[in-house]
Amino acid sequence: MNHRKMQQKRLRVKIISMGNAEVGKSCIIKRYCERRFVSKYLPTIGIDYGVTKVSVKDKEVKVNIFDMAGHPYFFEVRNEFYRDAQAALLVFDVCDRNSYLALESWLTEMKQEMGRINKLDNVIFFVCANKIDKGKRAVDTLEAQLWAEDKGFKYFEMSAATGEGINELFQELFSMLVEASENGGRPVKVNTSLGFTKEQADAILRIKNGRDNFEKLGLHHSATRDDINKAYRKLAIILHPDKNVAPGSEDAFKTLVNARTALLRNK
């Protein structure tokens, strides 16, 4: 095979991991590369580097993984590694709400460090919701999926402990990286086709998280029977499972019906 053809068949990529300390960045990478899980917490000191080779379509891909330390203490060490990354894993722990809320500041840090050199538009971001094996979630799938979708990022749920979702994540990531290289280094836009709107998802979240029936229906405590019925009709259209395919719409619809019945009983 001539040199040029060989080059076309070979691809080098750089992936970085980001997210708060202890969310499981190293474990996700270890699970994929070494097929194992260590339950003892061994904090990454500054940065860990690893290489793996994979084949995607007929391409040989050399994957350089820079696994960053999440602890703020290591900022000075990790900041220079953002440069030239083609993909980033934005990891949070589904049982730790702060680690989810921190994703924005990880993006800000990355932007500050590499903004002058490369554009973030050319980086493929994967939001990784880890530790789904643990139960007692503090972040809903729907909420995190919407956050990712809003930014044009891919969203995956996984457990480094059981291995669920890990191969799917990396396979999709590698195939997007190959697609991007075939597209002159620009990632092909993520198809945002969740099949539901933000209004529908917000309604589900409000019904689920509202502290009482008034709040669930978006009403004041002084609401009249008429207000209750009006709010009910509006939400019933948004939430009806025939029209709303977002996860949780069926439960939300049932809760809505019960909330209305309970509120009218007391009026």
93 and 137 Cβ atoms separated by less than 8 Å: no
DSSP classification of residue 210: -
Q: CB under 5 to 8 A by kind: which of Mg ion, ligand GTP, none does 236 bind?
A: none
Q: Which residues contact 58 (CB under 8 A, 6 or more apart)?
A: 9
Nearest residue (CB) to ligand GTP, 55 versus 162: 162
Inter-axis angle of helices 166-182 and 25-34, to 10 degrees? 90
Q: Taking CB under 5 A as the criterion, which residues in 16-35 touch Mg ion? A: 25-26
Smallest distance, ligand GTP to C-beta of residue 131, A: 4
* Single-letter code of the amino acid located at 166: I
CA distances from 222 to 2, 34, 212, 230 (A): 79, 60, 13, 14
The CB-of-186 to ligand GTP minimum distance in angstroms stands at 29
Q: Which does 160 bind (CB under 5 to 8 A by kind): ligand GTP, Mg ion, none?
A: ligand GTP
14 binds, among ligand GTP, Mg ion, none (CB under 5 to 8 A by kind): none
Shortest Å distance, C-beta 176 to ligand GTP? 23
Give the nearest distance from C-beta 60 to ligand GTP in angstroms: 28
Q: Which is nearer to ligand GTP, 96 or 140 (CB)?
A: 96
- Name the binder of 131 from ligand GTP, Mg ion, none, CB < 5-8 A by kind: ligand GTP
Q: In what order do the strands lie in the sheet with 154-157?
A: 47-56, 59-68, 10-18, 87-93, 124-130, 154-157
Q: Which is nearer to ligand GTP, 23 or 263 (CB)?
A: 23
Q: How many CB atoms lie within 10 A of CB 45?
A: 11
Tell me how far apart the alpha carbons of residues 10 and 39 are, in angstroms, rounded to a whole number.
Answer: 36
Least Å distance between CB 78 and Mg ion? 11
List the one residue out of 110, 99, 100 whose CA is nearest residue 145: 100
Q: Which of Mg ion, ligand GTP, none lies near 244, with the C-beta cut-off 5 to 8 A by kind?
A: none
Q: Which residues make up the interface to ligand GTP (CB under 6 A)?
A: 19, 21-27, 38-39, 41-44, 69-71, 130-131, 133-134, 159-161
CB of 232 to ligand GTP, least distance (A): 40
What are the φ/ψ torsions at residue 130 (nearest 5 degrees)? Answer: -100, 165
- Enumerate binding residues for Mg ion (CB under 5 A): 25-26, 44
